[in-house]
């Protein structure tokens, strides 16, 4: 005997098998279908529907899945900067598992949504004139719904950043003291409250933290080089070696090395490179009557740019624009002409230098020129700087990016600082008060 249920199912399946095109469900189609299949098939269909709906009801009554977020905490990072930098730059904070963040020198940041656990935090981007008090890598333990505070402290030396340093005196060219100002002449500050004998010798170290200058020792006519911090504190004299001839003991023309740890200067007819920390002296001896006045230390401290002078008895003094190795060897003469005196030379870029030459005659015949380091393409550029033909250019300094030149010059009976470019116009710096300012030096440190 045939199983009726099985027979009904077979009919349903057979019916669907015959429907090759999509079956549209509506009241008319369902009535027609069940009329063809009979009551047994209808019973099977209704029973299946009840069982399916019953199972859906059981699934809906199951407890919901808990998707609440995992509890987190946060890290509060506080930065304190002390010392003598009046406008310190900020730092970068690196937090394990998070992006690096910038933070002010005396600021704080909050890092939220950190899972409970231990995290490494490091303070980076500390400038060379600053040092951290303690470790600059710290561990922070974060707890759920808690705030963990981490503190860093940095101490900074005084620094000359985007500043000029020069000597300022009375308008009769006396009573010079060392001052600084912004690049436009604003915010003038007294650095060294003592009159110095040689106002044109002030030089800033490349890292902006020290100043060198020439002065006489108290109660002694010996000319000596002094070094002090950028704020005028901790003034020290570079020791000199005695000599029977006082002139041989004098120290002139201090220039800084790129590392700001050494100074080269002329000591009589010798050159001395002096290491500030160790006190070590390296001497370069020249033939009698010869000297080399170093103007700039170049090629990362391996070469000197300067003025080589020969003073042979019975012959005119000869000035030569020259480059030598830092040990005095390999002297290369760039320019030598009778009746010329070179009074300044500085690198404009890696292949070109700018210098001032003076015709050795009565009157004032200074002119600004540039020349390649191989001695080629020597040309007068004074008419490209925007100065009047009657302006008397005395000395100059160059901006850190080598695009601007700042001249100390005379115009009529007054003296000014004028900033210009090649093929540019002169911008006079504006100062208050009836004073004269001479021989500026432009700090090579600039804000990032």
Predicted confidence at residue 9, as pLDDT, reads 44
Predicted confidence at residue 259, as pLDDT, reads 97
The 10 Å Cβ neighbour count of residue 310 is: 16
CA distance 254 to 370: 23
Predicted confidence at residue 248, as pLDDT, reads 63
Predicted confidence at residue 85, as pLDDT, reads 95
Predicted confidence at residue 315, as pLDDT, reads 86
Predicted confidence at residue 143, as pLDDT, reads 95
Q: What architecture does CATH give domain 163-442?
A: 6 Propeller (2.120)
pTM of full prediction above 0.85: no
Short-list 190, 145, 141, CA closest to 169 = 190
Query: Under DSSP, is residue 279 helix (H, G, I), strand (E, B) or coil?
Result: coil
Domain ranges (residues) in the chain: 4-17+24-54, 73-156, 163-442
Predicted confidence at residue 38, as pLDDT, reads 58
Short-list 395, 370, 400, CA closest to 384 = 370
Per-residue b or e along 357-383, where b marks 16 or more CB atoms closer than 10 Å to that residue's CB: bbeeeeeeebebbbbebeeeeeeeeee
DSSP structure string for 24-78: PP-HHHHHHHHHHH-HHHHHHHHHHHHHHHHHHHHHHTSPPP--PPPP-EEEEEE
Q: CATH for 73-156, among 2.60.40.10, 3.30.565.60, 2.60.120.620, 1.20.120.450?
A: 2.60.40.10
Predicted confidence at residue 70, as pLDDT, reads 85
Contact 440, 396 (CB under 8 A): no
Predicted confidence at residue 345, as pLDDT, reads 96
| pLDDT tens across the length of the chain (448 residues) | 445 444 444 444 444 444 444 444 455 555 555 555 555 555 555 555 545 555 555 555 556 666 677 899 999 999 999 999 989 999 999 999 899 999 999 999 999 999 999 999 999 999 999 999 999 999 999 999 999 999 999 999 999 999 999 999 999 999 999 999 999 999 999 999 999 999 999 999 999 999 999 998 776 778 899 999 999 999 999 987 755 555 567 898 999 999 999 999 998 888 999 999 999 999 999 988 899 999 999 999 999 999 999 988 888 889 999 999 999 999 999 999 888 899 899 999 999 999 999 987 666 678 999 999 999 999 999 999 999 988 999 999 999 999 999 999 999 989 999 999 988 899 999 999 889 999 999 999 998 7
């Amino acid at each position: 005997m045939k199983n009726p249920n099985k027979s009904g199912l077979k009919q349903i399946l057979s019916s669907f098998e015959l429907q090759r095109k999509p079956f549209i469900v509506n009241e008319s189609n369902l009535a027609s279908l069940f009329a063809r299949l009979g009551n047994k098939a209808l019973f099977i269909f209704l029973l299946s529907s009840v069982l399916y709906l019953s199972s859906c009801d059981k699934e809906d009554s199951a407890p919901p899945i808990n998707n609440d977020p995992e509890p987190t905490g946060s890290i509060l990072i506080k930065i304190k900067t002390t010392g003598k930098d009046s406008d310190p730059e900020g730092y970068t904070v690196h937090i394990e598992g998070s992006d690096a963040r910038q933070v002010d020198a005396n600021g704080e940041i909050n890092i939220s949504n950190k899972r409970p656990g231990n995290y490494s935090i490091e303070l980076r981007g500390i400038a060379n004139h600053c040092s951290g008090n303690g470790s600059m890598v710290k561990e922070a333990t974060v707890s759920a719904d808690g705030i963990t505070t981490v503190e860093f402290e940095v101490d900074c030396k005084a620094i000359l950043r985007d500043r000029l340093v020069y000597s300022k005196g009375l308008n009769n060219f006396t009573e010079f003291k060392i001052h600084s100002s912004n690049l436009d002449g604003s915010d003038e500050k007294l650095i060294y409250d003592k009159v110095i004998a040689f106002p044109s010798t002030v030089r800033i170290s490349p890292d902006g933290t020290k100043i060198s200058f020439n002065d006489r020792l108290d109660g002694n006519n010996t000319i000596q080089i002094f070094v002090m911090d950028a704020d005028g504190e901790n003034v020290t004299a570079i020791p000199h070696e005695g000599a029977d001839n006082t002139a041989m003991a004098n120290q002139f023309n201090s220039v800084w090395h790129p590392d700001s740890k050494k100074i080269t200067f002329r000591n009589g007819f010798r050159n001395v490179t002096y290491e500030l920390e160790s006190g070590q002296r390296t001497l370069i001896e020249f033939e009698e009557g010869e000297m080399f006045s170093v103007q700039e230390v170049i090629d990362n401290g391996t070469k000197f740019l300067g003025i080589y002078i020969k003073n042979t008895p019975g012959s005119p003094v000869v000035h030569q624009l020259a480059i030598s190795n830092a040990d005095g060897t390999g002297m290369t003469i760039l320019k030598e002409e009778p009746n010329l005196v070179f009074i300044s030379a500085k690198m404009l870029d890696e292949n070109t230098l700018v210098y001032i030459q003076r015709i050795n005659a009565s009157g004032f015949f200074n002119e600004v020129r540039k020349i390649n380091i191989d001695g080629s393409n020597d040309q007068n550029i004074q008419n490209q700087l925007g100065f009047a033909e009657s302006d008397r250019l005395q000395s100059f300094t160059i901006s850190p990016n080598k695009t601007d030149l700042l001249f100390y010059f005379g115009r009529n009976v007054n003296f000014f600082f004028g900033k210009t470019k090649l093929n540019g116009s002169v911008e006079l710096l504006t100062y208050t008060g009836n004073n004269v300012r001479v021989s500026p030096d432009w700090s090579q440190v600039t804000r990032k």
